[in-house]
Amino acid sequence: MMMSEEEVLIPDDRAFSRFKHECESEQDWSVTYNKSSICVWIQVLEEEKSLQRIKCRMLCKDIPAETMYDVLHDIEYRRKWDANVIETFDIGKLTVNADVGYYSWKCPKPLKNRDVITLRSWLPMGNDYIIMNYSVKHAKYPPKKDLVRAISIQTGYLIQRTGPTSCTLTYLAQVDPRGSLPKWVVNKSSQFLAPKAMKRISKACLRYPEWKQKHSPGFKPWLFPEQNPLSSIPLSELSIQHADSLENIDESSLSESKDERAEHSDDEGNN
């Protein structure tokens, strides 16, 4: 979803429909992983800039669409199950189904860790749910010294109900990592990290009902906007995050650390 002009826009229904279409389309995508219930595709856009889109789809036989939607929204729970998260918090709300948030994550060693500030919006559409985001700039949250500010050009989830207790999750991401990444990172992302992240989400969903019973069971501001404790921020405080205004680092010559390689082989055995 490319923004017209320079103003920050909250996605409208057409933007959600376009995102759903992108998630379902398989034209011009190459399969890089296809095992059991998970399939991963990539689309290389600019080889030299490590710019690619990645799409993962997971069939979940025993997870209701509603539970998946809750888990992907619940920021408290994410801190518990998302092993890559360094820090995540909400900055403010824009409308009943859009807000702004911060997320920083660990990258494979020896790469520098990344962070993003995104405008997130969500919409239940019949039997489907969509959550999507893109990067924005906020004056109070400039790039940090020890992290590389990445850009989410368009990232999101499509959850499709396939039965009372089953769903399909599609994750679509186009992120500019701000830097030239080595080939092994690009390959590892699609063949190992993405499937691993999907498996982690599925495990988190299975444990969520029990966890939520003990942690404010009725509190779901993504379903009940009147519960939202965030203060409103005007759109005028946000601007489009342009790639060329950020540092661009060259990590293309870095090789994978031994710890990372060992972890990779262990994990494949455990799953």
| pLDDT at residue 180 greater than cutoff 50 | yes
Q: Which of 32-41, 101-110, 181-190 has the highest mean pLDDT?
A: 32-41
Alpha helical stretches, state H, the chain: 13-24, 65-73, 75-81, 183-188, 194-214, 258-270
More reliable by pLDDT, 39 or 263: 39
| Confidence label for 156 from pLDDT (cuts 50, 70 and 90) | very high
Surface-to-core class of residue 261, CB atoms within 10 Å of its CB (0-12 exposed, 13-18 middle, 19+ buried) = middle
- Express as a percent the part of the chain with pLDDT over 70: 83
Q: Distance between alpha carbon 81 and the CA centroid of its chain, in Å? A: 14
List b or e across 84-111, with b for residues whose CB sees 16 or more CB atoms inside 10 angstroms: beeebeebbbbeebbbbbebbbebbeeb
Cα distances from 39 to residues 32, 111, 134, 263, in angstroms, run 8, 26, 24, 22
Q: What is the mean pLDDT of the chain?
A: 87
| pLDDT at residue 258 greater than cutoff 90 | no
Cα distances from 24 to residues 19, 27, 74, 125, 178, in angstroms, run 9, 9, 25, 15, 28
Average pLDDT rounded to a whole number, residues 22-36: 93
**36-93 residue pLDDT tens:** 999 999 987 776 655 679 999 999 999 999 999 999 999 999 999 998 999 999 999 9
- Write down the pLDDT at residue 270: 42
**What is the C-alpha separation between 141 and 139, in angstroms, rounded?**
6
- Write down the pLDDT at residue 257: 58
| Confidence label for 1 from pLDDT (cuts 50, 70 and 90) | very low
Alpha helical stretches, state H, 215-247: none
Average pLDDT rounded to a whole number, residues 97-120: 92
Lowest mean pLDDT among 13-17, 53-57, 212-216, 243-247: 243-247
Place of tokens 């799409």: 55
- Write down the pLDDT at residue 109: 80
